[in-house]
Structure 1
Amino acid sequence: MNFILWILLGSTLGLLFSFYQANVVMKADEGEEKVKNISFKIRKGANAYLKRQYKGVAIFFVLMFIIFLIMSFFGYISIFVPFSFVIGGFLSGLTGFIGMKVATNANSRTTTAAKKSLNGALKISFKSGSIIGIVVVSLGLLYIALGYLFLDWYYSDLQEVERLLQVTTNILTFGIGASSMALFARVGGGIFTKAADVGADLVGKVEVGIPEDDPRNPAVIADNVGDNVGDVAGMGADLYESYVGSLISSCALAVAAGLSTEGVFVPLLVATLGVVASIFSSFFVEAKEDASQKNLLNALRRGTYISSIIVAVGSFFIVKYLLGAENLGVYFSILSGLIAGILIGFFTEYYTSDNYKPTKNLADMSKTGPATIIIGGLSLGMSSTAIPVVIVAISVLISFNLSGGSNDFNLGLYGIAISAVGMLSTLGITLATDAYGPIADNAGGIAEMADLDPEVRKRTDALDSLGNTTAATGKGFAIGSAALTALAFIAAYKDSIENLVKSGEYSFEFNLSILNPQVLIGLFIGGMVTFLFSAKTMDAVGRAASKIVVEVRRQFKEIPGLMEGKGEPDYESCVDICTKSAQQELITIAIIAIATPVIVGLILGPNGVAGLLAGSTVTGFAMAIMMSNSGGAWDNAKKYIESGVLGGKGSDCHKAAVVGDTVGDPFKDTTGPSINILIKLMSMVSIVFGALILAFGIL
């Protein structure tokens, strides 16, 4: 029980730290009236979007709560599932809401700080990012710790082994609410932000020839709102779900591996150490006034590396104390996940940053027009999948064998699960380096719209450019952790089905041979679902962006003096179009993610579902990397040209690069990141509906 107290203390410390940082940020100068007014418009639009989204999501959660309640009444799931579903979804949504609130209050303050110094702007934007990162991990830990305490009390009459099994089995279902909310937040926010971004770029930059963030562009406020609802609120909910998922899957697999209570607490204590390490390391992020992009990147890396070293050293003592020297291999599983995350982040940066050859070569392709730069971006993304896949494969192999998988298969699966915990243990600081980017981007937009000194925009552009690199790195990190977490969920799914069979209510035996037709069909369907889901999300952005293009063209045509800067654009109409479109498109996408594993299970049984999860994980991992890296490279190729090479802004090369960036927008900010959630959500749905599949599966 003392372990739980340490976990509660760590999560509470994280929340108190976030509250303290929020006070520091809010006390910073918001700037002149024009800056405040623009920031207010962005904040108003973000609030309106989230309000509408949460209303729609509430209806879905009420319906699912009723379904789960009926299932629990008939004994197919625990009575705790409906309530944990709602609580998990609420907390996931809360992380996104807090993130949006912090970001929309920090953007103007970052702009104002940039009037004085680059380091001042970095500190405000990074402090804001650290609030978001620490809140995500602290709320996730607090949720699991309180859930454990309650369930341990509820099942206190049972023997220790049976009690622990019941506790961890119920904890395993905690993730479905978070996964469902993450899907709505990530996909909905992604559709909003990229519809606005694509619409603003196609008419503003390409057709009319005005700069980015020009106040004459009617979609410019919607574009800035999108940075918050997609890249902050969406990313926060997404990584909250990954974080909780990695912890609950490793807790459940600890029992199957025979590691008892100590094995359950190892991942939770490692995560607690990660919270403390992230808080400590955040104080080391600062830069000098004349800092180059390399210096700024090193400033952010310093925080990540310090946090990683603390976790790497501290985890050794946690594992040795709880599991003993005979299970020290579990420590190396944690270490392999931690190193794998750093390596995936580095190679993502290599393929997407304009400091390296791949993106510079992509920019050169703009000389021959949009077609070649699009072909080059797709090729770059496909090539970039090789190294992360190999890294994850090696990490899985090391984790499985060093944790004792060669002697005990379940122990090896626990090793894989806890390697995902290792990768996500520094999420507090990693998410901070990601979330600060949209804040800096908004700050630059405000500087442009408020017509501030060019030096202010130069400073915010330096932070924004770095933010593109850290965002791409963050997405690579999120995808890698999603792959490991999905693998752990597949193992947890198999374990949960076997536990149901052991209870004596059902009769079933797994046959996971690839020659089993049920598994083979499941593999094909799983592979297909990734492509269908990707098509639907891309199509949703395309339709929403088309509406924005039509609206922006209309305003330039019908509002007198708009192009000359004398007329006032109707910003709210574009925000409203993006908001409505994002919500309308979500229904079909959500049905694909939630209904597919249930339908496959009822037709093909548990074997078919196992194939489905394997197929979607393999194709989803590769597809997510490809899309995120292609999009990141197109974006940075455009910015590389804008820096003055190949003719700079307004040149034919730049126009070609803008088209490539426009194609890449939904790749990197809508579809790619959303696939992470798809592969984990389908696993969670499979676990929760396991008894129903066993009872009514045709095959």
Structure 2
Amino acid sequence: MTVQVAWMAPICALIGICMAGYLGSWVLKQDPGPEKMNNISLKIQQGAKAFLMSEYKLLVIFMVIVAIVMAVALSPITAVAFVTGGILSALAGYIGMHVATRANTRTAYAAEESVAKALNISFKSGLTMGLSVASFALLGLSLWLIMLVFGVDTFELMHEHVGMVEGFATGASAVALFARVGGGIYTKAADVGADLVGKVEAGIPEDDPRNPATIADNVGDNVGDVAGMGADLFESYTGSILAPTILAVTFGALGYFGGVGTVDATWAIVVPVMIAACGIITSIIGLFAVRTKEGSELHKALNRGTYLAAGIEIIAIFVIFFMWNGQSDNQPIWLLGSVLCGLVAGLLIGKTTEYFCSDHYKPVHQIAEASETGPATNIIQGLSTGMLSTIIPILLVAFAIIGAYTCGNMAFPNIVTPEGGIAVGLFGVALAATGMLSNTAITIGVDAYGPVADNAGGIAEMAGLPEEVRERTDSLDAVGNTTAAIAKGFAIASAGLSAISLFVSYQATMHHSIPNFELTLTDPLIIAGIFIGAMIPFMFAALTMGAVSRAAHAMVEEVRRQFREIKGIMEFKAEPEYDKCVAISTNSALREMMLPGILAIVIPVVIGCFNPAMLGGFLAGAVATGMLLAIFMSNAGGAWDNAKKYIEGGAHGGKGSEAHKAAVVGDTVGDPFKDTSGPSMNILINLMTIVSLTFTPLFIAIQAML
């Protein structure tokens, strides 16, 4: 029965892929506008494709090396799963970016008619990306689980085989980290160069065709905020589905669920993919609720689609647990409470993010007001806002963990765990992460439309379209900044919950396989591991921020050189050398992205080979500080960005004022916060945790030899 029920997941994934194909083809059939707009869009397409192809060439080399290591140290199947996860992640990102770089000019041309039409095109482009990410992730993961886990006769064999499937998640996480870091370095180097030299020094508008960095800036929106973001949520989504499955199999191997074929064992291992399958269908339904009229509030239209999808998803999950409850001696209907804890926490984290990052609320207004006294006070207020914004999300995650754990224990009152064993209620915590990201497709859609709108505004500026067109695209972009921050909040929170579940699986597996394995705060090696783990996110942030700084420095010098040496740029008599700025961003991103990505894989493996218990402490420290840094940096960056846009809308003197110049500096500081270092943290957490779990057979083998 398990295998038959599980086939629901790849079927729904194929439906999602077909819908993504339909939406993408619909977007490409829309009018792209006159030739001048198309030429600008073509330069963005070429730059984005060239970067992605160069990035993928490096990733192929990296993945081949890691796959060979996995094949030797673990198993050839684990290596193949690793490669599969990486390929599907890269493919989803490429499809989304292919459509996004063509939707930009269509959105700009549609904005000449109405904001409603522009939203329709940009959102459908975003949902193409969302459905591609969710569907490819679920298709690959569910097929691996069906082949290796769901049809196996014993839990011991399941536990061995699910370790191979973990290779899929490791591949997805590795590609995500490189895509996020590489894309983030690219986009922020171009953005900083365009802003500091163009807007502050030369005093020309954003996306002015005289700015040599403007094409690179628009390319960066796609490689960072579309392809990079898609890979980010691909791995978060994969982890949120796989974590409860791994936990259920681990508990089964330890004797918690009885024998394979029992009702609770059967449902526990397939429910995560069933929840994800329902999420793809509900995201498609939510599409039809996203529509607006001229003059309406755009964020309400997007929220309507998200809330409708979430409401239907809750009903679908209730039906799943109700069916399970009718066949079980336990009360798994309580697991609906665990999922709701995750969903509600995710939505509330999204609203909290909106409060701290939207220009409709006090925190952003305070940053804008602080800009009147210069860049220093703008930055101080922005840092304060980012730090303050961590409180509610962390409390919500804590309450979600406690609530999901409690509901999980109430779901299985008849299951008695061995003395000293792990409580089954932690299965509920894992399902909370699944619930939080169950509607990933529409969450990405609401996020990915933003870069399309941003590009549309750039094309409108460079093509000399009427001012009202830019105002419409800017209104879409401003909402897109907030929705992007909300999507990051979901990804960060789910990463924390998934990491906890994977951490429990790691502890349970080690406790079962290594005599006298304990994680206790009286062990100095574990304490040392906690401190080292807590340091890693700061080191990672330093490396990525430093990479943006070095790349931006090269970009600023190049833009200054062109303004100085190419006569006639400011008078529109000569065209800037856009390709040189694109080359600087590309080369810098490819060079700088390798070290952080390699360290995230190598460090956990080295510590695990030395002492698996120390690795447990390391993971605990990394998860705690990684979540805090991710929320702080993402929200501070989003608030700085919208404070600048709030001033550009006419507040505190408007464009060109001293407050505006200070806000541009703050936004420049916030750019790598929100688009490079911050959103990479949740990938870092997931990658180090899943790598640790994947390599447990190696750690166990080394300990057996000692």
TM-score bin (small chain): over 0.9
Deviation at 1:434, TM superposition (A): 0.3
- Secondary structure at 2:519 match in 1: coil
Amino acid across the alignment from 2:98: K
Letter in 1 for 2:199: K
SS in 1 for 2:424: helix
Which residue in 1 is equivalent to 2:147?
A: 150
Amino acid at match of 1:185: A
CA contact (8 A) 1:266 1:322 kept: no
Query: Does 2:460 match 1:447?
Result: yes
**1:187 positional shift:** 0.3
Q: TM-score, normalised by structure 1?
A: 0.95
CA shift, 1:649, in A, is 0.4
Q: Which moved more, 1:548-557 or 1:172-181?
A: 172-181
Instruction: Give the one of 187, 193, 203 matched to 1:199.
Output: 193
Which string of whole-angstrom CA distances, capped at 9 and with x for unpartnered residues, describes residues 595-635 of structure 1?
A: 111222233x1111111111000000000000011101100
Amino acid at match of 1:449: M
Aligned to 1:562: 569
| 1:670 aligned residue | 676
Structure 1 residues 167 and 320: CA distance shift in structure 2, 3 A: farther
Alpha-carbon distance change, 151 to 691 in structure 1, aligned in 2, over 3 angstroms = closer
Correspondence for 2:55? 53
Q: Does 1:640 align with 2:646?
A: yes
The aligned residue for residue 679 of structure 1 is: 685
Deviations along 1:140-182, one digit per CA (max 9) or x if unpaired, are: 11112211232259xx6x6343443344333233210001000
Match of 1:321 in 2: 323
Deviation at 1:527, TM superposition (A): 0.5
1:504 is matched with none
How far does residue 512 in structure 1 lie from its aligned partner after superposition? 1.2
Query: Cα deviations across residues 300-333 of structure 1 (Å, max 9, x unaligned)?
Result: 0000000111111111110121354612221110
CA deviations over 1:399-457 (Å, ceiling 9, x no partner): 11111179654421211111000000011111100000000000000000000111211
Partner of 1:105: 102
1:550 counterpart residue number = 557
Asked if the contact 2:78/2:165 (under 8 Å) is kept, the reply is: no
Q: Are 2:482 and 1:484 equivalent residues in the alignment?
A: no
1:175 corresponding residue in structure 2: 169
Structure 2 letter corresponding to 1:124: I
Q: Following the alignment from structure 1 to structure 2, what is the Cα–Cα distance between the partners of residues 145 and 695?
A: 29
The 3-state SS of whatever aligns with 2:634 is helix
**Number of the residue aligned with 2:309:** 307
**CA–CA separation in structure 2 for the residues paired with 1:29 and 1:361:** 41
Match of residue 12 from structure 2: 10
Q: Determine helix, strand or coil for the equivalent of 1:328.
A: helix
| Contact map agreement 1:165 1:255 (CA 8 A) in 2 | yes
The alignment partner of 1:566 has SS state of coil
The 1:394–1:152 alpha-carbon spacing in structure 2 relative to 1, beyond 3 Å, is closer
When residues 399 and 331 of structure 1 are mapped into structure 2, their CA distance, relative to the original with a 3 A threshold, is same
Contact 1:169 1:496 in 2 (8 A): no
Match of 1:338 in 2: 343
CA distance in 2 between counterparts of 1:183 and 1:169 reads 21
Q: How does 1:283-294 map to 2 (within 5 A)?
A: 283-291=288-296
Q: In the alignment, which of 584, 592, 596 is matched to residue 589 of structure 1? A: 596
Counterpart mapping for 1:276-425 below 5 A? 276-291=281-296, 295-323=297-325, 324=328, 326-404=331-409, 408=417, 409-425=422-438
Q: Structure 2 CA distance, aligned partners of 1:554 and 1:171?
A: 51
Tell me, which stretches of 5 or more residues in structure 2 are unaligned?
A: 252-256, 258-263
CA contact (8 A) 1:140 1:240 kept: yes
Flag the 1:511–1:165 CA change in 2: closer, same or farther, 3 A.
closer
- Aligned partner of 2:27: which letter? V
Contact 1:161 1:260 in 2 (8 A): no
Give the C-alpha shift of residue 482 in structure 1: 1.3
Following the alignment from structure 2 to structure 1, what is the Cα–Cα distance between the partners of residues 292 and 398? 36
Q: Which residue of 1 aligns with 2:71?
A: 69
Shift, 1:64, TM fit: 0.8
Note if 1:523 corresponds to 2:499. Answer: no
Distance in 1 of aligned mates of 2:283 and 2:491: 17
Normalising to structure 2: TM-score of the pair? 0.94
Aligned match of 1:39? 41
Residue pairs, 1:484-523, within 5 angstroms: 484-498=497-511, 501=513, 507-523=514-530
Q: 2 CA distance for matches of 1:322 and 1:475?
A: 33
Note if 1:252 corresponds to 2:257.
no
Counterpart selection for 1:125 from 95, 119, 122: 122
Distance 1:665 1:586 in 2: 17
Q: Does the 8 A contact of 1:328 with 1:403 survive in 2?
A: no
In 1, Cα distance between equivalents of 2:235 and 2:155 = 28
Instruction: Name the aligned partner's letter for residue 409 of structure 2.
Output: G
Q: Which amino acid aligns with 1:186?
A: R
- Whole-angstrom CA distance in 2 between matches of 1:469 and 1:152: 40
Partner Cα distance (1:290, 1:331) in 2:
39
More deviation in 32-41 or 243-252? 243-252
Change in 2 beyond 3 A, CA 1:692/1:162:
closer
State the AA in 2 paired with 1:630: A
Amino acid in structure 2 at the alignment position of 1:90: I
Q: What is the aligned partner in structure 1 of residue 261 from structure 2?
A: none
Report if aligned partners of 2:149, 2:162 keep a CA contact under 8 Å in 1. Answer: no
Comparing 15-24 with 142-151, which one deviates more in the overlay?
Answer: 142-151
Q: Distance in 2 between matches of 1:82 and 1:496?
A: 21
- Residue in 2 that maps onto 1:620: 626
Match of 1:214 in 2: 208
1:271 maps to a residue whose letter is A
Check whether the contact 2:529–2:615 (CA below 8 A) recurs between aligned residues. yes
- Contact 1:164–1:261, Cα closer than 8 Å, also in 2: no
Q: For residue 476 of structure 1, report the CA deviation from its aligned partner.
A: 1.3
Supply the distance in 1 between the matched residues of 2:146 and 2:180 (Cα, whole angstroms): 31
In structure 2, which of residues 273, 277, 298 is the aligned counterpart of residue 268 of structure 1? Answer: 273
Identity %: 51
- Checking the alignment, whether the CA contact within 8 Å between 2:172 and 2:234 is kept in structure 1 is yes
Amino acid corresponding to residue 164 of structure 2 in structure 1:
N
User: Match of 2:41, SS?
Assistant: helix
Shift in Å at residue 3 of structure 1?
1.1
Q: Deviation of residue 498 (structure 1)?
A: 4.1
Identify the residue that residue 25 of structure 1 maps to in structure 2.
27
Q: Deviations over 1:54-89 (max 9, x none)?
A: 111111011111111221xxxxx2331110111111
- C-alpha deviation, 1:4, in angstroms: 2.2
Give the corresponding residue for 2:483: 470
The whole-number CA distance in structure 2 between the counterparts of 1:170 and 1:416 is 23
Alpha-carbon distance between aligned partners in 2 of 1:172 and 1:84, rounded to the nearest angstrom? 8
Aligned to 1:74: none
Match of residue 161, structure 1, among 146, 155, 165: 155
Supply the distance in 2 between the matched residues of 1:494 and 1:14 (Cα, whole angstroms): 36
In structure 1, stretches of 5+ residues that fail to align are 72-76, 502-506
Q: Structure 2: how far apart are the matches of 1:546 and 1:510?
A: 49
Match of 2:449 in 1: 436
Distance 1:170 1:412 in 2: 25
CA distance in 1, matches of 2:518, 2:160: 26
Structure 2 residue identity aligned to 1:116 = E
**Partner letter of residue 639 of structure 1?**
K
